[in-house]
Structure 1
Amino acid sequence: MSDIFNVKDSLTVAGKDHAYYSLPKLAEKYPNINRLPYSMKVVLENLLRNEDGGQSVGENHIEAVANWDAGAEASKEIAFMPARVVLQDFTGVPSVVDLAAMRDAVVKLGGKADQINPFIPSELVVDHSVQVDVYGREDSLDLNEKIEFKRNNERYEFLHWGKNAFENFVVVPPATGIVHQVNLEYLARVVMASEQNGELTAYPDTVFGTDSHTTMINGIGVLGWGVGGIEAEAAMLGQPSSMLIPQVVGFEMTGKLQEGVTATDLVLRVVEMLRAHGVVGKFVEFYGEGLHSMPLADRATIANMAPEYGATCGIFPIDQMAIDYLRLSGRDEAQIELVEQYAKAQGLWHDADTPAATYSSNLHLDLSTVQPALAGPNLPQQRINLADMHQKFGETLHTMTKDRASEKEGKVRFDEEGGEQEQAERLSAKPKVFSSIDIDNKTHQLHDGSLVIAAITSCTNTSNPAVMIGAGLVAKKAAAKGLKAKPWVKTSLAPGSKVVTDYLEKTKLMDELEKTGFYLVGYGCTTCIGNSGPLLEAVEKGIEENNLVAAAVLSGNRNFEGRIHSHVKASYLASPPLVVAYALAGTVDIDLTTQPLGQDQEGNDVFLKDIWPTSAEINELIANNIDAEMFRKNYGEVFNGSEAWNAISSADSQLYPWSDESTYIKNPPFFEDMTMEPEGIKDITGARILGLFGNSITTDHISPAGNIDPNSPAGKYLQQRGVLQADFNSYGSRRGNDAVMTRGTFANIRIKNKMMGGKEGGYTYYFSGDKATLEQGEEMAIYDAAMKYKEDKRPLVVLGGEEYGSGSSRDWAAKGTILLGVKAVLTSSFERIHRSNLVGMGVLPLTFKKGENADTYNLDGSEVLSITGLENGESRTATVTATRADGSSESFEVNVMLQTPKEREYVRHGGVLHYVLRQLAAENQA
């Protein structure tokens, strides 16, 4: 690090001198800095502090950001180095597996094992492993934790080895909280201070996370975003991340939310607006007088959902509200003083007098216009006003059941009221299908729209006391009237930290939630990431009997197809109070604004308005029951863990002792036969199409996290290894085993390969030789076809539509792709993180020219493809030639989506980890 601009300065906090790289001093030379957005100032400081003579950061990079043109398209490459990395266990375990494998590989290449260590603080929170196996009883938490430890013992042994073997690596044990909530409430420094070049240096806390919702930390002014595990590992190994200087969208908020409107309602409106505006690959920055009265928890909720509106980040500035939150959450006073003094010294502090920044584009939202809402049935941006939910579900049901009209007579019942024409309209719009089921010796009817899962879950909302206490008050008022969740509804309460249960118990609201059916089931993501566990057997059979459109309502951030539960077709995001309300109603096929939730003890109708709390009630309970001591108590020994965690034993060695018997942890094949010389980017010839997909294929579609079907390739593999179906666990928990995960790639039960018509699931056609029509293909699982193509020494290509790879920052969506033998992915467009992950694994990302797609060239998946003109990655375009079975061919030009020189270098090396390994081995040999 150097100081070529001579801008180093110092400030004294708590008796200690801190050096820092002064942006106000740099602004004397580049006055445009004074109008930079907050986030761009953080980026500028990062470059200024990490300037190294141009090896990664040079004077030209700093000048490019200092002179940032708000209207310019993202084109200039810069190298960003985060201050730390946060990981969750689903994505963190495979990252640590890769580091362990790299230790083996670097030794084989002539290096030393201890060269592979995180260079920056790396913090893993175990939060994705707990499932809702048990619910609706007082011992749910204890039983689910015991099942979790038994189910994940191999993984937890491996993490124990990792926390002891690696430097700069800590683990927050299971049953503590959700990574993003723990990050917000405890791990985040907001301003870092560490020894750099022999002096104590202050700088902004910036973070990469192996989970897309890392952006939650933007709510307190920390610039961070989700990256794939590959990119995170590179950062941990000291490699800066190549990125293009982004555009920054300004989002002005004015006014105040109306009575009865929650932060969840607000964020769903924000998601809808920003998705419509188009912010993929951009920063979003919130400002305006509406922020001055917006609690930090509401800001964190909005920041958390940045992946859902498609932005790299959604950031709020450091202001008095951030300082108040740091104090409320029990942070050290010296650290709070450092944050405030540094922010003010650097021009990062915001208050009512702060001049407006210049943005690439601007949006405005009057908070008073926000209405109560949900989002669904399968995308977070599908916002529905609560008052419109009944009608919208009817439209959804019509779409989802239009192929069910031919079912046996007697399975479909229709209302008998109304005239002939009215009944005909009902027949075409919404058939009333039901199944009779027995629960606890009572008969109930399950209908289309019956709610079978109601989950208060996810860091998005459980970090927000207003909506959690609001849910408790709804439960209290409902219980007083004798209402509780319907017996077919699987209810769960899974907070993101123990602080939540402390204040729910202190306010006596935990008892009220339990009265309505919401018992504490665990501290983790649970239903939000598909760990919803099994439904009652009677409920599952009832759904299957008539192919019912069953529903889920959860306070999460994702509701993609097939994610929440395999028996649920319609999933809706909602605030925790609405989750409770829908559980009471037992269906989403209802208008909660006009229809009763149920009846009280006297038989009187109870409406939502009768049990909805006022803001005054909520705020009074927050003010009187949440304090800093609550946070200090819960985070005082956060790394210690439970007795069960501390009883786990692990090897004490620098190299991990891989076991051939393990079905959880396996040495991946990424570095097999690796040499010091990279292969380069070669033209692809004679490739087959493994899958032809449409729009909005998510990383959940590509690499599911949930249940493993016993008849799937992954299920068959586990059974061959002696694993019982009851012990399958989930794909997410087995990400440390490439044999399971490769078999699970493209295995989502809802994915549709267009080659297969309308058939759902991970299937494709295998074509032998070069001349086969679609009709001559042999149907099989995608994994099985890929292995046959591998025997044929046939390269593979995947074709997709718009927003390919949206959703979670799931590195196995890229790892599985390369291990199947896919050399290139050609789509209409990529979501940012997945494209980066493909590059990190050495897969070539390509896009059709604007306005074109596979249909433009009548591609049906049976063609043989060649991709030429790549020029070792230097060409911005390539030529695709598609040859059909009859010998005819068509050629068209596509875009090569390698955006920076570093990305081209990564793909030439076969991925970023190969690149780093060769660099480290070369250093040792020099």
Structure 2
Amino acid sequence: MDIVNSFEIENEVFYYYDLKKLTNENKRLEKLPIVLKILLESNLRKATNKEQFEQIINSFENRRNDKISFYPSRLVLEEFSELPIFIDLAVLREKVDILGGDLKKVNPQILIDLIIDNRFLEENVKSSKESEYNLVEEKYHFIKWASHNFTNLRIIPPGSGICNQVNLEFLSTILHVERKDNKFFLYPETILGTDTHATMINSLGVLGFRIDSIESQLAILGLPVKIDFPKVLGINIFGKLNNAVTSSDLVTFLIEKLKNSNINGELVEFFGEGLEYLTLEDRSFISIAAPKYNASCSYFAIDNKTIRYFKKTRGNEDYGKLIKTYLENQGLFYTNEILDYDKIIDFDLSTVYPDIKDKKNLNESLINLKKFPLMKKGNFLKDGDIVLSLLFTSKLSLHHLIHSLLLAKKAVTLGIKVNKNINAKFVIDTNIKKEHLESLNLIRYIEDLGFEIKYDEYHFNSSEIDEDIKKDILTNNLNLCSISSQNIDYLENSMNLIKSNYIVSSSLVVFFSLVGNVKFDFENDVIEIIDNKAVYLNDIWPTNEEVVSYLGKVDYTLYKEIYKDIYKGNEFWQNLNIELSNTYNWNQDSTYIQASQIITQENFISDLRIENAEILALFADNISTEQILPSKNISLYSPTARYLEEKGIKSFEYNDFESRYGNFEVMIRNLFDTSEVKNMMISKEGGYTIDYETHEIVPIFEKALKSKSENIPQIIIAGKDFGKGKTKYWAIRALKIIGVDIIIAKSFDEKYRKNLINFGILPLEFVDDDIESIKLKGNEKITIINEKIKEKSIIDAIIKKESINISIELKCRLDNDEEVNYYKEGGVLNFLFKNILNSSL
């Protein structure tokens, strides 16, 4: 079925894969949630034949538990977490260069944005630690070389901002434009990211997922990410907010509700009339929090609010029109229609109350301050009185700041001031927030109200409390309070004076500063009597419409100023000189970056033939990736420490394993190097084994490399659930480098099993046996010969144990034809590298 269509804007024709053509003929697809329509479009666009096309439609019609593909249009990577993949590509360039191939074809297969956050302040590093300066310089030097040599790679150099913020405010385009057959094709932008806040982009209507470094490598080299057909949970937001409730309270309550909704990896999609209360910044907080409530992502479909934000931050009216036209043509623009969700959860805004947290117990929200005990009175203070209020702009959206300052403006207009006993501070953390608020003429109201303006991070000290107040507190043992918009340690040396400390919304910081005591009834209590008229909360509480009106006045040209030189970088980056060479000039003395070993299996594996393999290690149950590759600091006298000492690195310059992520020599020495793991072949804890030739206890990596040089196969044997825990790139890659070709276990963590295949390591499982039943000691030899490798097949193995041979059965954990084919190619990464190599020759 041909579903290609087109439309014209400003005399330019754009083509797209028309979902409405499809849904007109397949009514069951018409009510698909928008996230599923985006996935449907990408899968159909990538279909290569009619059979595949129809299979995709069938999967989405029936929403079966099939595997579908996620095709990213772009990857967003932070800092140096993906350094090994670029090192691999640089090594591949060398191979192509030696063989006389085309270096220009060795590139990432999709667009990558690598955002280098300021983890180190380079101008200070050199004066503090030479080792840290070398770390920054060597990594930046390599990345800058990569930016000049690889297409499809954009580097956002240091000094540009935080990864997810740069992506939201500048990089994301919402639509991806691709030139194909001399036509411009449009499709939704889809993003993968390794940063913990990768899901933030869903607030902009861009479908994005967080992935681990191994999955990102596969995507960089051209493979889609395979996912189970997702369930979609619809969140219906309706009703009206109560007095004293802000959108920040709404965000907090919504996240808490989702945490208690037994979400298990579903995609969450929001709809309902209550969305009008959520700014795009509010939506971003909810989207960032998706992992906290176990959702794969929290998605907000694109609406007029999204388009306005996009046009203002990018300053492109015509492109905004293009986005809206495409989305409306596709049925992807938000219309508040109830779609065919797997489940709907209703969220009534009237159930939301001001979020007030006790600083001593942050898990206890909704503290009922009306029940605050009032027992003691002093000369001019009593229990529950507020003596300190701190309003911080950091971590606050512009929407919340404007609401707070409009509250201050209304109070000032009526002649209400901050309570005389309160030390009130307003702390502005960035120049752009200061400029925004000054352009709206709002800062003066918070100052007129009685707040002192501060322009840096602020720490309260007890010396700032008035002496009369101190005396009243101490003499009468009063339980006085502080109110803050942020959980920071601002009560240095003053906990003995201020006993009750609360974290509230920014607007409630302002409000409580007016009333002076935490025991206040928002519905009924009077703030102050002005001209014989009682002033209540409703009289000064800004409406959502008032806040939106001010947001419309924001000068978004400031974003142009911020991002105009985004690719330029700071002075450190600009002064970093690199050789303009087609291949990288490796520094053999570097302890941070070294050329890796990539293509590990040149020949296609047609059968399994392992003869007289040695056992490298025997491990018990539940060996985690953290035990396989510990992330602790480099300890003295460890194999890694000896390597660094040989390179002239002293103990105070070791840094940690994460900082040396680009050096495989470091990572292989770190294998099993923790007292939390023990090789059952020896009595010593950590990453050691026995060399039965010399009868010495040696590091595992050392014995493995020796056997590898002698072409002796190496096998690791373990108990149940081998490889559980967080995915770690080097917890598999390092094993492959030292020559481990097979791991036999009672069972594997499923993700670890798949990643073993990605790197060309064969996972085999005991059928009826285990380490204990066979009474393995580690000095046995193992032979495994199988003429045909098949999915889930049973393989015979012979264990040569002293004077006898023991035959056992092992289950091949290549679970489908795809995994079998990739293993035969030496692993998925090996297969992709070879494809790039071959296309370059």
TM-score scaled to structure 1, two decimals?
0.65
Q: What's the CA shift for 1:24? A: 0.5
Q: What's the CA shift for 1:732? A: 3.0
CA contact (8 A) 2:263 2:295 kept: no
- Does structure 1 residue 265 correspond to structure 2 residue 248? no
Change (3 A) 1:101 1:872: farther
- Does structure 1 residue 917 correspond to structure 2 residue 841? no
Match of residue 718 from structure 1: 644
CA contact (8 A) 1:371 1:385 kept: no
Q: Give the % identical residues.
A: 25
| Greater relative contact order (Cα < 8 A, sep 6+) | 1
Change (3 A) 1:48 1:812: same
Q: Deviations over 1:668-711 (max 9, x none)?
A: 02335x4253577778976555654649x5x6676566754445
Q: What's the CA shift for 1:250? A: 3.8
CA contact (8 A) 2:459 2:490 kept: no
Change (3 A) 1:471 1:198: same
Q: Give matches, 1:477-626, under 5 Å.
A: 512=454, 514=456, 516-517=458-459, 577-579=486-488, 592=501, 623=551
CA contact (8 A) 1:824 1:843 kept: yes
Moved more, 158-167 or 732-741: 732-741
Match of residue 740 from structure 1: 666
Quote the Cα distance in structure 2 between the aligned partners of 1:609 and 1:170: 54
Change (3 A) 1:146 1:874: same
- Does structure 1 residue 83 correspond to structure 2 residue 73? yes
Structure 1 counterpart SS, 2:185: strand
Q: What's the CA shift for 1:660? A: 0.6
Match of residue 33 from structure 1: 29
Quote the Cα distance in structure 1 between the aligned partners of 2:356 and 2:718: 37
Match of residue 805 from structure 1: 725
Structure 2 counterpart SS, 1:130: coil
Q: Deviations over 1:25-64 (max 9, x none)?
A: 011232221122212211111122223238xx93244323
Code of the residue aligned with 1:44 in structure 2: it is: L
Code of the residue aligned with 2:178 in structure 1: it is: S
Match of residue 488 from structure 1: none
Matching residue within 643, 646, 670 for 2:598:
670
Quote the Cα distance in structure 2 between the aligned partners of 1:857 and 1:369: 59
- Does structure 1 residue 64 correspond to structure 2 residue 58? yes
CA contact (8 A) 2:107 2:150 kept: yes
- Does structure 1 residue 841 correspond to structure 2 residue 841? no
Quote the Cα distance in structure 2 between the aligned partners of 1:284 and 1:369: 20
Q: Deviations over 1:203-222 (max 9, x none)?
A: 10012224354222122221
Quote the Cα distance in structure 2 between the aligned partners of 1:234 and 1:609: 57
Match of residue 556 from structure 2: 628
Match of residue 474 from structure 2: none
Moved more, 319-328 or 637-646: 319-328
Code of the residue aligned with 2:486 in structure 1: it is: P
Q: Deviations over 1:182-215 (max 9, x none)?
A: 1111111111123122101111001222435422
CA contact (8 A) 1:839 1:907 kept: yes
Code of the residue aligned with 2:596 in structure 1: it is: P
Q: What's the CA shift for 1:89? A: 2.4
Match of residue 197 from structure 1: 181
Quote the Cα distance in structure 2 between the aligned partners of 1:355 and 1:321: 19
Match of residue 21 from structure 1: 17
Change (3 A) 1:515 1:29: closer
Change (3 A) 1:277 1:80: closer
Match of residue 796 from structure 1: 716
Change (3 A) 1:680 1:718: farther
Change (3 A) 1:700 1:81: same
CA contact (8 A) 1:689 1:796 kept: yes
Match of residue 356 from structure 1: 339
Change (3 A) 1:168 1:304: same
Quote the Cα distance in structure 2 between the aligned partners of 1:479 and 1:729: 51
Quote the Cα distance in structure 2 between the aligned partners of 1:100 and 1:769: 39
- Does structure 1 residue 9 correspond to structure 2 residue 5? yes
Unaligned runs of 5+ in 1: 134-138, 389-455, 485-491, 519-574, 596-605
Q: What's the CA shift for 1:375? A: 14
Q: What's the CA shift for 1:292? A: 3.7
Change (3 A) 1:227 1:683: farther
Match of residue 43 from structure 1: 39
CA contact (8 A) 2:599 2:830 kept: yes
Structure 2 counterpart SS, 1:12: strand
Structure 2 counterpart SS, 1:385: coil
Matching residue within 582, 589, 592 for 1:661:
589
Quote the Cα distance in structure 2 between the aligned partners of 1:464 and 1:328: 16
Quote the Cα distance in structure 1 between the aligned partners of 2:181 and 2:303: 30
Match of residue 104 from structure 1: 94
- Does structure 1 residue 247 correspond to structure 2 residue 231? yes
Quote the Cα distance in structure 2 between the aligned partners of 1:692 and 1:256: 57
Q: What's the CA shift for 1:346? A: 0.6
Structure 1 counterpart SS, 2:203: helix
Match of residue 414 from structure 1: none
Quote the Cα distance in structure 1 between the aligned partners of 2:295 and 2:758: 20
Q: What's the CA shift for 1:720? A: 2.4
Structure 2 counterpart SS, 1:90: coil
Q: What's the CA shift for 1:94? A: 2.0
Structure 1 counterpart SS, 2:585: coil
Quote the Cα distance in structure 2 between the aligned partners of 1:782 and 1:616: 66
Quote the Cα distance in structure 1 between the aligned partners of 2:166 and 2:399: 18
The structure with the larger Rg is: 2
- Does structure 1 residue 753 correspond to structure 2 residue 655? no
Quote the Cα distance in structure 2 between the aligned partners of 1:32 and 1:125: 41
CA contact (8 A) 1:109 1:675 kept: no
Match of residue 161 from structure 2: 177
Q: What's the CA shift for 1:107? A: 4.5
CA contact (8 A) 1:693 1:753 kept: no
Code of the residue aligned with 1:805 in structure 2: it is: G
Code of the residue aligned with 2:259 in structure 1: it is: E
CA contact (8 A) 1:742 1:820 kept: yes
Change (3 A) 1:731 1:28: same
Match of residue 536 from structure 1: none
Matching residue within 731, 741, 763 for 2:686:
763
CA contact (8 A) 1:228 1:836 kept: no
Quote the Cα distance in structure 2 between the aligned partners of 1:511 and 1:122: 41
Code of the residue aligned with 1:739 in structure 2: it is: E
Structure 2 counterpart SS, 1:201: strand
Q: Deviations over 1:281-332 (max 9, x none)?
A: x534344444342222232223234444454433222222322321342352
Q: Give matches, 1:321-332, under 5 Å.
A: 321-332=305-316
Q: What's the CA shift for 1:161? A: 0.8
Structure 1 counterpart SS, 2:82: helix
Q: What's the CA shift for 1:169? A: 1.5
Match of residue 322 from structure 2: 338
Matching residue within 783, 792, 809 for 1:876:
792
Structure 2 counterpart SS, 1:669: coil
CA contact (8 A) 1:122 1:169 kept: yes
Q: What's the CA shift for 1:376? A: 14
Match of residue 301 from structure 2: 317
Quote the Cα distance in structure 2 between the aligned partners of 1:734 and 1:626: 44
CA contact (8 A) 2:4 2:15 kept: yes
Q: Deviations over 1:52-111 (max 9, x none)?
A: 238xx93244323442x23x33x34x4443212222222232221121122223445674
Code of the residue aligned with 2:458 in structure 1: it is: T
Match of residue 567 from structure 1: none
Matching residue within 267, 275, 287 for 1:291:
275
CA contact (8 A) 1:80 1:241 kept: yes
Match of residue 478 from structure 2: none
CA contact (8 A) 2:359 2:502 kept: no
Structure 1 counterpart SS, 2:592: coil
